[in-house]
Structure 1
Amino acid sequence: MTFQLDTQKIKDFVEKNGAYTYRRRANTYVLPLPTRKPERAKFENGYVAIVGATLRVLDGENLEYEKNDDSIDSIIDGGKFDSAETEEMFKLFIENELKDIENSTITRVEHFKNIPFIDHKDEKKGEIGFFHFFYDLYIRDNEEDFQEIFSELKSEDLLSEIIRISVEKESKSFVRKYKMLFPGLKEQFLQDVRTLASNPAFLIQHFADLALHYTFIAMAQIVIQTNKITFAQTDKLHRIVFLNMSEKGSKRRDFYNEGLRLLREEIRTFFAHEHTLNVLGNNTFIQDGNWFYKDYADFFEKQGPDAQTEFIQSIYYWINEEYVLYFPSTQRITYEGQDLQTAFRDLYDTLRKNVKEEINSRYSVAFETIATRFYRKAGGSLGNILALNLDQIIALIAVSVGPRGNQLELNKLWIELEVRGVFFDKYSKEEVVKILDNLNYLDKKSDSGDAQYVKAIL
């Protein structure tokens, strides 16, 4: 076996009408972010449309919600009414109830399935992209677990029965696109949904918020860790500092440099990583897809130094002899025994220089859209700040503490939140304590801070 980039495969991948194109999503899927503005998901109806699609697919139904008006008519025809007026009133009631559900008025778990994607052709593509990302990362490998959780929460009321009848089952399966890099996050999400299920009303209110939160944290961590190339950590989350919406900030606080400013800098030229990883995937030895830099490092650690050297040399050969044909001003880089980290960095830097700025801009704006749509706090001269509102904080604390009857030592709450991707500085922690105290969720065993416990919220 040879361990090289396949120059012909790369040529077939990048070349279009003799010109170099910065393609992606052939060998590795990284983030569900478009580079075309019309396809950007704006989440005008929140994240509930992605949750609705998830529950439909879990139940073997269509990805997209399609209301079957004939089924409502057949139910009406089979009913017994004392007058035509009563029949018409009942039909109007059902239609209005279904319309309310489609507008996100959800009172039962199965109502989620009647939430459609946005009625805009291009933006719908963006929402469907987020569905695939969320489903692949958090649901796919645990489908039976989630099916069991939600089947136990289903109702038997008439409206729910009509909803079940009014959809057409479809056994279509979706090929995996994205790979979960953080197994701890995936298992934590499953555990949190199980915890939420102990209080169905709370789950209905906060499930979409929780799904959104885990999506955003996964995206942010993928960006930060991929930027580390082979030094990426998949068993430890990078520190991303949030503020509380109720707080005032200052440049001296941790959030200023470790919050939204950090993410903006990390995403600024990240599109080049998507392309670089897909170029690397055109090699002579990969049988499956979705390899990130760390996957190559782990692979060559097992293959030995000779195989790694052969691969590294092929990277520099491709830069110096192939890529330069498309971009003659490319600086050639002599192979002088560079390690894998350096070779990947050189390849990324070389490719990054010729990515059009409008692509970088649209890509990064698509990422910032989800951050500012759901986590934005206006900070005046500080600009936009990454912050959690009260509902988000309560939901995360609720799953951190656990079901009714549980208590969590206050000092351990911060650890539980960090496991879920939320880091606070000491001032934000003090604000959270005030919130918990005001809501009577703090059990003070004594005057000692170590003896304080957070009560169960569920």
Structure 2
Amino acid sequence: MSMDKYTKPFNPKLPQTAEDVPNKNSLNSYLPIRTKGNDFDWDAVIGLVLRGLLRKKVEKYGYEEFTQDCQAAFEEKLGEEAFWDVLQEMYFDNKDIFSVSPELLLFRAQKGEYAQGDARIASMFTNLLQNMRVDNFDAKLNFIEREMLATLRNKMKSDTSLQANEQPYLPYLAKAFCDDLKFLASRPKYLLSEIEQFLSFYGFAYTAQLSLAISDWRSGEAPVAKPLYFIMDHERASSERTHIKNHGYKLFNESASRLYPMLTMLELLQPSVGEKNATKVPLWEISKGIQESKSTHLKEQLEHFARAFKSHRNLDTSLNESDCALDWLANIMKLAIAQFSVGERFNINKKYVSEIETHLASPFIQNRRRAGLVLVLNQDYIILLTNLAVGEKDKLRFHELISAFKQRGIFVDKQTEQELIKFYERIGNVERMSDSGDAVYVRKTI
């Protein structure tokens, strides 16, 4: 599946009576967080993402067996048993071999090596990748490492089980993610050192931007990056900085409260609900499908579903009477939010936002006491994002770099821009042609 527009006609199978409305809200797409059981292991997630990227797997072949095969290969070629002891200590005893090539990390994506929570987190990145493929990683290896990798490759099998099953909700971010991963894939050693940080960043950027975009569905157009403000983790966050105060953590936290209500409703609205291996579509695409539909029954179907859902959930929410199908979709989303505004469901949604902050957002949130909670980027994330933004170019003008940050969901105010320039000057990857920001160029650090 590519990032091309979804072309199937919108033909939902919506419950039409209160008896047909499901009792439980379920969430199976667009976000991997659930109300509980969200612990995951980055090593396993990385292995699964690479397995999907390579379309290869290593099954029924344990690490010990691999070690023995490498030993046999070297003893045959080198003829010195003592030399193997040195290699074993260097590469195998502490699993340092995993730093040789990303392909070795497929051992962490074997059955029994990962849990359901790991698979869910990995699926978020697999869907962002939209079935992008890398055949192998061209790492600059020495003779010994090439032999070890060849031994593993002989045991690899093709694998197409980890495929995208969602149309991108945020096509602009999916494109940036793919472009950035291609850049990293061409530098395997850098990828190995940065992939956890890379996935951590995109996991949060995607969740935050999804929370900002999810209510903006009516136009039927794909979302664009929405302002969400970060500061560097050493900066002061005074209350006079209105963007930081109003369009940073506070905005993210408020927006995140819409995710669970609207995504669980989106599950019921999927045109292909119940179909095996069906591709899920975003709410804005459903809106587009309604606008382009020639069906005369859509308005009635949506209206019946809205009334049935309202009755089943015992909601007293007022509905806007209309002859327009889109207005009834608006009523449905209004009911989705309303059901989580009271009682036990209110607490469930509060817990859901807390789970998001704990498992996906925590590296990016700091408590600044009087200034409250703010969104931050530490220096390691900034260096990584700078290298990704500059990409294959030699350098970028500073304002072009700021635009590239925005395409990845990162917005900064003028004060942080000045702090960034000072930071780049300290680490020596900036060229200042004049005091003007337009004449400041930023280079990669790799």
The CA deviation string for residues 358-398 of structure 1, in whole angstroms up to 9 with x for no partner, is 42233212211244432233312333321111111111112
Whole-angstrom distance in 2 between the partners of 1:314 and 1:136: 33
Distance 2:329 2:204 in 1: 27
Per the alignment, residue 182 of structure 1 pairs with 170
Q: 1:179 to 1:89 in 2, by over 3 A?
A: same
2: distance between equivalents of 1:155 and 1:6?
56
Asked if the contact 1:223/1:266 (under 8 Å) is kept, the reply is yes
Which of 216, 226, 230 aligns to 2:214? It is 226
From 108, 131, 134, give the equivalent of 2:122: 131
Q: Distance in 1 between matches of 2:86 and 2:445?
A: 40
The question of whether the paired residues in 2 share the 8 Å contact of 1:410 and 1:454 is answered with: yes
- How has the CA–CA distance of structure 1 residues 448 and 260 changed in structure 2, closer, same or farther, with 3 Å as cutoff? closer
Q: Deviations over 1:239-295 (max 9, x none)?
A: 111110121112222122212221111122431112211222378999954233212
Confirm or deny that 1:96 pairs with 2:96: no
TM-aligned CA distance change 1:3 to 1:377, over 3 Å = closer
Change (3 A) 1:133 1:318: same
What is aligned with 1:17? Answer: none
Q: CA deviation at 1:303?
A: 1.9
Q: TM-score, normalised by structure 1?
A: 0.80
Aligned residue number for residue 5 of structure 2:
none
Amino acid in structure 2 at the alignment position of 1:388: L
Change (3 A) 1:199 1:85: closer
Inter-partner Cα distance in structure 2 for 1:281 and 1:387: 36
CA separation of 1:262/1:164 partners in 2, compared to 1, >3 Å: closer, same or farther?
farther
Q: Show the counterpart of 1:214.
A: 202
Preserved contact between residue 39 and residue 117 of structure 2 (Cα < 8 Å): yes
Note the 1:352-431 alignment, pairs <5 A: 352-353=340-341, 356-403=345-392, 406-431=394-419
TM-align CA RMSD = 3.7
Q: CA, structure 1 residues 387+107, in 2 after alignment: closer, same or farther (shift >3 Å)? A: farther
Equivalent pair of 2:13/2:273 in contact (CA under 8 Å):
yes
Match status 1:440 vs 2:433 = no
CA 1:71–1:372: 2 relative to 1, 3 Å: closer
Q: How many Å separate the matches in 2 of 1:344 and 1:412? A: 41
Shift of 1:50: 2.4
Alignment pair present for 1:299 and 2:302: no
| 8 Å Cα contact 1:229-1:293 kept in structure 2 | yes
Partner of 1:7: 15
Deviation at 1:443, TM superposition (A): 1.2
AA at the equivalent of 1:457: T
Percent of aligned pairs with the same residue?
18
The structure-2 alpha-carbon separation of the partners of 1:434 and 1:371, relative to structure 1 and needing over 3 Å to count, comes to farther
Structure 2, unaligned stretches of length 5 or more?
1-8
Q: Output aligned runs, 1:237-316, within 5 Å.
A: 237-253=225-241, 254-281=243-270, 288-304=278-294, 306-316=296-306
Of 269-278 and 414-423, more deviation after overlay is shown by: 269-278
Q: Aligned-pair distance for 1:156? A: 5.6
- In structure 1, what residue type is equivalent to 2:380? D
Alignment partners' CA distance in 1, 2:113 and 2:191: 28
Residue ranges of structure 1 left out of the alignment (5+ in a row): 15-19
Structure 1 residues 371 and 245, CA, compared in 2 at 3 Å: closer, same or farther? farther
94 and 244 in structure 1: CA distance in 2 versus 1, 3 angstrom threshold: closer
Are 2:71 and 1:76 equivalent residues in the alignment? yes
Q: 2:38 aligns with which of 35, 40, 48?
A: 40
